[in-house]
Structure 1
Amino acid sequence: MSTQAEQATSEQATLASEIALLLLLSLIWGSSFTLIKVAIPSIPPFTMVAARVTLAAGLLLLIATAQGHALPRQGSVWAAFLVQGVLQSALPFTLISWGEAHITSGLAGVLNATPPMFVLAIALMTGRGRQATSGRTIIGVGLGLAGVAVTVGIDALSGIGTAAPLAQAAVLGASLCYALAPLWGQRFKKLPAIVTAAGAMSCAAILMLPAAAILERPWMLAPPPAQAIAAVVALAMICTALAMVIYFRLIRTIGPLGTTSGGYLRAGFAVMLGTTLLGESFAWSILAGMALILTGVITVTLPPPARHDQKTAGLIVVTFKA
């Protein structure tokens, strides 16, 4: 009995540590929306993302080497790293950076809280994990999507050709990338998190450096102010390098849906930081939309009533196998 009690205590401690890491990751990524808003007026999106992923890749490679890890040599692994780099970094970072040139960081954070909804939608459409879904999870998906609609606003439909609705769509596109990324990332479970992060980020850098050079010619731009440079460095070192190591660990421990469920916390942090640090307005429609999104995500991630033995306390509702 004592052994079982010790095992239960150990499992609870492990779960608590993973939840703490999820909270930390949500705070880190919530702050990224504020940092992007600081940098985007003087550093265009492709250049910002190229600098962000290149600095992060360099740091991750140094850490992996210092820890004695060797990078894989198989071409198939690097091809998988390339897909991961596109889904997790290159494409969503660019979409969010461009989007924040036209919408507030708080709104971007709320719209980017939707990956859990996309994960559930993928499960329902593909049948992968459908046996673990329920009417309540479907309701949760509906509430989350309704929250997105309220946040974007009906008025946006009348100006679909203007910048703001397109920016909102770009951030939602980034959310879809963030939903697909952990599903793809499960194939790296046997690799150390630092190796996966370094490989994926290196591939993202290889893609973004020529894209920035061709599309934006950063050497022709006026020198950015110190605060913009500091924001990009923080994005690279904290919101990318550190966050990626935590992210790939959480994919192994709590799964794709559990990892993406931190999106609602990320939205809260993004809105809070945007209003307190950047003086952004906080419309009631955004508040109502965020409330619906949070309700939907919580509904999705609560454990099913008939499965109280679920160790992850509802953080994993759908399990995917790559």
Structure 2
Amino acid sequence: MGTQARPTTSGQTTLALDIGLLLLLSLIWGSSFTLIKVAVPTIPPITMVAARVTIAAVLLILIALAQGHALPRQGSVWVAFCVQGLLQSALPFTLISWGEMHIASGLAGVLNATPPMFVLAIALMTGHGRQTISGRRIVGVALGLFGVAVTIGIDAPSGIGTAAPPLAQVAVLGASLCYALAPIWGQRFSELPAVVTAAGAMSCAGMLMLPAAAILEQPWTLTPPPPQAVAAVVALAVVCTALAMVIYFRLIRTLGPLGTTSGSYLRAGFAVALGTAWLDERFSWSSIAGMALILAGVVAITMPLPIRSAQRPPVRPSPSSHAGWNN
């Protein structure tokens, strides 16, 4: 009896910590929408993304070295880092920044709340992680998406494919697909410290975005941005990227891709709440109802699946069942 209680208590504590970190991550990334609104009028999107990921990369490298971690030397690991940096930061940050120049933020929020949909679709099509899918989690995904629609405005999805520019909508949906693929790809870094993975991925993202900004936007020719725009970019880099990525790669290991991407619902809800508080946007009781639905969906997705008691001998795991670097 006593030996069974300890793992249960430990598991409950770990789950509570993970959900708390998911809430924190969602709040951090939800605030990024407000910070981007402050910066983008005077700092072009590609330049802003390049500065954001480069500052974050430098900070993460310094933190990793200060903690005694050595960066990997294998070329294959850095190729994987580049894919991660492209999927998690370089491409989606740019797509969202460009998309929001052409469509309303509410519509963008609904479109950007779809990563769990893509994760489920990928799992069903490929079989990757299919064992983690249950009816409860599918219902949780549906509840979360409906909650986002209610929070932002139940009529917001009606703009999809109509008045809003289709290409901008495709761009934001493309970012959501990137956010769905990123945690699936990121599972291969489970043996590395989260700060090392974050440093490697952001370093590669910076190496991708700096030349793009120099070629396409030539930031040295622009009028110097105001202090509040610079402060917004620094906050995006330090808090919304460096700190957020360390939390993110930890959650990939503990909650998995579907649980981690469920934070996209909360991120949209926090974005609405922060917009109401700081940008004088309208707040209604529908927002409260929507946030309740979002929280219910996240709980349904992130709670561990029940352990089914079998009346037959347990199956012994084979050596091939262990995930290695090349899986």
Coarse TM-score class (shorter-chain normalised): 0.7 to 0.9
> 1:280: how far off?
3.5
Describe the superposition over 1:83-114 as per-residue Cα deviations: whole angstroms up to 9, x where unpaired: 00000000011111112223444543343222
Aligned to 1:53: 53
Aligned to 1:279: 280
SS of equivalent to 2:255: helix
Q: 1:144 to 1:12 in 2, by over 3 A?
A: closer
Residue 189 of structure 2 corresponds to residue 188 of structure 1? yes
Aligned to 1:157: 161
Aligned to 1:264: 265
SS of equivalent to 2:78: helix
CA contact (8 A) 1:151 1:286 kept: no
The one-letter code of the counterpart of 1:88 is: Q
Q: 1:110 to 1:277 in 2, by over 3 A?
A: farther
Aligned to 1:130: 130
Q: 1:196 to 1:303 in 2, by over 3 A?
A: closer
What is the alpha-carbon distance in structure 2 between the residues aligned to residue 288 and residue 114 of structure 1? 19
> 1:28: how far off?
0.5
Aligned to 1:167: 168
> 1:128: how far off?
2.2
Taking only the aligned residue pairs, the percentage that are identical comes to: 76
- TM-score (normalised: structure 1): 0.84
The one-letter code of the counterpart of 1:120 is: L
What is the alpha-carbon distance in structure 1 between the residues aligned to residue 160 and residue 18 of structure 2? 39
Q: 1:152 to 1:177 in 2, by over 3 A?
A: farther
Residue 120 of structure 2 corresponds to residue 116 of structure 1? no
Describe the superposition over 1:278-314 as per-residue Cα deviations: whole angstroms up to 9, x where unpaired: 2345699999988877766555555557759xxxxxx
- TM-score (normalised: structure 2): 0.83
> 1:11: how far off?
2.3
Describe the superposition over 1:7-36 as per-residue Cα deviations: whole angstroms up to 9, x where unpaired: 322222222212111111111111111111
Aligned to 1:246: 247
The one-letter code of the counterpart of 1:245 is: V
Aligned pairs (5 A) from 1:201-220: 201-220=202-221
CA contact (8 A) 2:89 2:202 kept: yes
The one-letter code of the counterpart of 2:220 is: W
CA contact (8 A) 2:107 2:159 kept: no
Structure 1 gaps of 5+ residues are 309-319
The one-letter code of the counterpart of 2:267 is: R
Describe the superposition over 1:18-64 as per-residue Cα deviations: whole angstroms up to 9, x where unpaired: 21111111111111111111111111110000000000000001111
> 1:4: how far off?
3.0
> 1:274: how far off?
1.5
Structure 2 gaps of 5+ residues are 310-321
Aligned pairs (5 A) from 1:96-107: 96-107=96-107
Aligned residues: 308
The one-letter code of the counterpart of 2:182 is: A
CA contact (8 A) 1:106 1:272 kept: no
Aligned to 2:319: none
Aligned to 1:199: 200
CA contact (8 A) 1:36 1:100 kept: no
Greater mean deviation of Cα atoms: 99-108 or 211-220: 99-108
What is the alpha-carbon distance in structure 2 between the residues aligned to residue 272 and residue 290 of structure 1? 10
What is the alpha-carbon distance in structure 1 between the residues aligned to residue 89 and residue 121 of structure 2? 22
Aligned to 2:40: 40
